[in-house]
A and B are shown apart, each in its own frame.
Chain A
Amino acid sequence: MPPRECEICHTNRAQILRPKNHARICAPCFIAIFEDEVAETVTSTNLFNPGERVAIGASGGKDSTVLASVLKTLNDRHNWGLDLVLLSIDEGITGYRDHSLEAVKRHSEQYDLPLKIVSYADLYGWSMDQVVAQVGKKGNCTYCGVFRRQALDRGAAMLGVGHVVTGHNADDVAETVLMNLLRGDLPRLSRATSIVTSTPSAALPENGEGEIKFTNVKRSKPLIYAYEKEIVMYAHHKKLDYFSTECIYSPEAFRGSARTLIKNLERIRPESILDVVRSGIDMAKLVPGAEEQNSQRACGGENKAAAAKTDEGDGLGGCGSSKESGGEMAAMEQKLLQDEEAQANGNEVEIKMPKKTVNSQNGVARDTQDAADAEIDVKNGQQQSPAQQTVPIRTKEEKKSRKRGKDAPPPKQKLGQCERCGYLSSQSVCKACVLLEGLNKARPRTGIEVGGGD
């Protein structure tokens, strides 16, 4: 077969089959169109304010590396005037972040962007190594996950940055849409598709001392329409060096299921990924109360965003998003069956269930349960090898139900802020503060409070 010419420039030889639409194009045209599409996403959604200080959540992995490279390029090319900074989180696990942080340090030099590394020790007073020493290896995932969810926002606030961009791509968003469709979570389905997941409140983004409170940190995903395969391709052709994280976390069952579906859909029809994202955006408008939610958010009621953050993690990978893995679908099946039976019997049965259940009000139940999990984990204090950390432990179910009485949740609060640290929380005290309280109790010499409250 004679070499084909690029469908765009009609000059170079086509060397790329574009994953998004199977167009045959040359590498320079691919790089140009990839960058143009990100620029289009940014400008059409008015993502940034001129001169805005923006932190790029940088893990050293492909998504955030490409995000940093593209934003730097576009910022210079289009004179957006953004004050870009790389923000990395160091969990403080000896030997774990070393390689990825090295990659981020190189990026900082290559792209001429300042790098800020914020450690768990800075943010919480506890490194993960210290947490493990305290609670044992079992259950430390709970801590890492809870701490991780707030880390980017806390880190950004610490640096005085009001906007964090993450490397979530179209595949991630499509996956989240399908996942929430499968687990019947419409509010999350709807939030997954918004390019900005937490709108800063209409109130002043800064407190008296000119610091940004981390409740006002805005999160966005400029790569929402970029295919994972194209991100890899872009990194390859731009010769970006990134740290390919071995996938150390086994995704939750629903996410794994959704991921497989997305991969197969992409094989059948490459455009499917974008079509799922589009469907998600359209369905979001049909979720009961969608209008209301939006207007609430617009005037500063940002409570819903808390869950959105929780749901999608920070795009930095790691074990935080795993939590309990395999049993998730089985647990939900059981919960649904019980609901059905309860309904058939006509009596309301109060069943406390493992996380990731159906209804929108679940933010509350889930938080409670997570906190309870952690408590139990602490109490058991059993050792478990790291490889086993994500294996679901069936007997936990029974333990939970027995312990429930004792581990009563903090008093319920309408979605709002943690009364200790101000983080968005459906409980009066957020999960991180609950965990920290447990940790600090066991280490009486310290009185470290989470920042923001003092």
Chain B
Amino acid sequence: MAGRRNLPPADKSLCRRCQSPDTAITVRTEPLCKACFDKYVQTKVVKRMETFRVKNSEPGKEKTLLLPLSFGPCSTALLYTLSRHLKNQIDKSGRPGFKLHVLHIEQPDEPPAQPLLDQLQSRFPEHTYAAVPLASITSLPHLLPSTLQPPSSLASLLSTLPTPTARADLSAHLLRKLIAHHARETHSAAILLGDSTTRLAERALAETAKGRGFAVPWLVSDGPISSAPTPSEAGDGQGEIPTYHPLRDLLSKELVPFVAFAEPPLTPFLRTASESQAAPAAMKNSTIDALTRGYFAGVEEEYPSIVANVVRTTSKLQAREVGAGELGCELCDVPLEGAAPERSRLCWGCVRTMQGVGAAS
């Protein structure tokens, strides 16, 4: 259509970048060989790490960045690419731009993470590692909303909620709170989440469906936000720790093969999604998060740019300025002003999640 394609039509069977005949994957319309695909992914990640370049760091006082690792393909890809990035920084400048601290939050139903973390440590010995059970949140009652006080066990907390959607939502927020808590404990300068474009789009849509449309800008944006909400866990004067999504320009369907292609293989470090994450047969037993995940899994196959566009578009939303001392929602930590029913310490979305709490008792 446009006059810019003056080159003779490329042979569709060759890698678009190096003309190698061994193409491994098609990335947005372009066939690429493994090496060029690897470079493509690495470049996309590095581009999002500009803030943590060597020249921005003090020699010997590199900032610690917290990388929550789920053993899924995305966060594993992030660990892998950032490890290479650090090596490159050292090769080029003689020192790294940052340090990585890898944190795994153990879900109640999963096997112990330590053996896997030990293996990772021998593969990437330059980072520090920790595993914390999600259940430990109950020993940090100040992180929990007042409606869940006094906290008993995690299982009983979750069982107070009547629907799978509410349980998944609460669980996700507890996970996020625990990560933020750990980031403060380790004096991390930032949290690097392994969310792909696809994942961000899923979350934007899911939060919209859960009545938290107002919170979407905080969810999808990168770096410190001028109007960052006050975390419910106040006191150490550190404020909210900025969050980055270095995989935000990559699709989930690109990261899965990327991890599979890695040499030596990363597959030993991957854990496949547990049964509980598979979509249940009946829609009403499903969760809103699972629905949006399934939806975008379909869309990214055929229309990857539309997925990316959802993220780009929602990133343009302007987070509301937060007044000094404005309280955050007790569960999701977004500012409450205008987003909460009267006299509630929870936002609309969290009221919805917590509805039915205590109804059983």
Contact = CB atoms under 8 A, between A and B. Distances in A.
A22 to B, nearest CB: 11
Nearest to A337: B305
B319 A286 contact: yes
Contact of A275 (B284, B286, B348): B348
B234 interface: no
A349 interface: yes
Contacts of A181: 204-205, 208, 310, 313-314
Given A184-B312, A336-B309, A283 B214 contact: yes
Contact of B302 (A184, A333, A347): A333
A182 B310 contact: yes
A419 interface: no
A267 interface: yes
B288 interface: yes
B283 interface: yes
B352 A287 contact: no
Interface in A256-307: 257, 261, 264-265, 267-269, 271-272, 274-276, 278-283, 285-288
A278 B217 CA distance: 16
A269 B208 contact: no
Contacts of B3: 349
A274 B212 CA distance: 12
B209 A265 contact: yes
A330 B305 CA distance: 10
A276 B165 contact: no
B303 A279 contact: no
Nearest to B164: A268
Contacts, number: 140
B210 interface: yes
Given A184-B310, A337-B28, A401-B1, A272 B209 contact: yes
A333 B305 contact: yes
A264 B162 CA distance: 19
B241 to A, nearest CB: 23
A272 B288 contact: yes
B310 A279 contact: no
A158 interface: no
A183 B310 CA distance: 7
A329 B316 CA distance: 21
Nearest to A284: B213
Contacts of A282: 213-214, 338-339
Contacts of A267: 283-284
A267 B281 CA distance: 13
B33 interface: no
A282 B349 CA distance: 12
Contacts of A275: 209-211, 348-349, 352
Q: What band does the interface of chain A fall in when counting residues whose beta carbon is under 8 Å from B?
A: 35 or more
A350 B299 CA distance: 27
B312 A276 contact: no
Contacts of B299: 257
A382 interface: no
Given A178-B205, A275-B348, A350 B2 contact: yes
Interface string B277-294: 000000110111001000
Nearest to B4: A349
A272 B165 CA distance: 11
B29 interface: yes
B191 interface: no
A186 B320 contact: no
A450 interface: no
Contacts of A278: 211, 213, 348
Nearest to B355: A271
A130 interface: no
Contacts of A271: 211, 352
A387 interface: no
Given A275-B211, A286-B217, A345 B4 contact: yes
Contacts of B207: 279
A332 interface: yes
B163 interface: yes
Interface string B114-148: 00000000000000000000000000000000000
A338 interface: yes
B208 A279 contact: yes
B317 interface: yes
Contacts of B306: 182-184, 329, 332-333, 336
Contacts of A349: 2-4
Contacts of A185: 313
Interface in B309-339: 309-310, 312-314, 316-320, 338-339
A40 interface: no
B259 interface: no
A192 B210 CA distance: 18
Contacts of B78: none
Contact of B305 (A264, A274, A336, A350): A336
B309 A184 contact: yes
A186 B208 CA distance: 14
A347 B339 CA distance: 43
Contact of B214 (A182, A279, A338): A279
Nearest to B5: A341
B208 A336 contact: no
A157 interface: no
A330 B317 CA distance: 25
Interface string A324-345: 0000011011001110101001
Contact of A338 (B2, B208, B316, B339): B2
A351 interface: yes
List the 3 closest A-B pairs by CB distance, nearest first: A279-B213, A275-B211, A336-B305
9 contacts: A185-B313, A268-B286, A280-B213, A286-B214, A288-B316, A336-B309, A337-B28, A337-B305, A340-B305
Given A282-B214, A282-B339, 19 more contacts: A181-B205, A181-B208, A184-B312, A268-B165, A268-B291, A269-B288, A272-B209, A276-B208, A276-B211, A279-B207, A279-B208, A279-B210, A280-B213, A286-B217, A287-B318, A329-B302, A336-B308, A338-B1, A351-B2
